[in-house]
Amino acid sequence: MRNLKISIAYDGTRYRGWQRQKGDVPTIQGKIEDVLCKMTGEEIQLIGCGRTDTGVHAEEYIANFHTNCDLSIELMLNYLYEFLPEDIVVKSIKDTTERFHARYNAKAKTYVYRINNSKFRDVFNRKYTYHTDETLNLSHMREGAKFLIGTHDFQSFTSLKPKTKSTVRTINYIDIVEDNGVIEIKVNGNSFLWNMVRIITGTLLEVGSGKLTPKDVKKVLDEKKRSEAGPIAQAKGLCLKEIDY
């Protein structure tokens, strides 16, 4: 049996996230599995590198699946390109080892949150950036972000109910850059909790607008209470950029 590793890009605007759900609910996993089942004549279950929420995008999502199908990689790619909707593309397929697992073998993930900080919303990129015309202090945002680097309990930065499971995670870096009115917040960590990146972004936006001070970020982290952090930033600005193995 083959174990195939696939790289996927998708626009999450019209999907209810990655994970397949009951009923006729549009999800990324569901769309790809349906096409794979028709292609192979088998029941295919995709193993994803994680769950992206409703409206979140991905430039490099990694998954794997097992199959007895002996089609060539080229024919598989062509089939998927033809029958998947235009907002989902399988960019590559590779035969990998039997033990490869897209989720468990992932060492780090990089998310990017994009903010249009111009006076007007960008009509062409409005589905992929959050717009605010509020003046943002990027220096303060970078200063506040430093308190989140390292291994911490991120209970304040998740929508998970307290004590549901461990909320300890490691953030390797947070980069905040601006180019021609577009701000990118790049967050790299070993793994992420439900809504973690969006809540981090919402909190840093509060710092940038002056509603919180940079040092308040440490207080929020130490309190371990969701109510102390900022709001959840809109899903459309978030994109899974890269997975490290």
Tell me which long-range contacts 25-31 makes (C-beta under 8 A, separation of at least 24): 28/52, 28/58, 28/61, 28/88, 29/63, 31/84, 31/85, 31/88
Asked whether 4 and 65 are in contact (CB, 8 A), the reply is yes
- Rounded CA separation 41/171 (Å): 42
Asked whether 169 and 122 are in contact (CB, 8 A), the reply is no
- Rounded CA separation 231/101 (Å): 33
| Residue 173, token pair as written in the block | 């870096």
Helical (H) or strand (E) element with 9: strand 2-10
> Is 53 annotated in the active site?
yes
111 strand-pairing partners: 187, 240
Question: Out of 24, 53, 70, 153, which one is annotated catalytic?
Answer: 53
Distance of CA 47 to the CA centre of its chain: 16
CA-atom Rg of the chain in angstroms: 19
Active site residues: 53
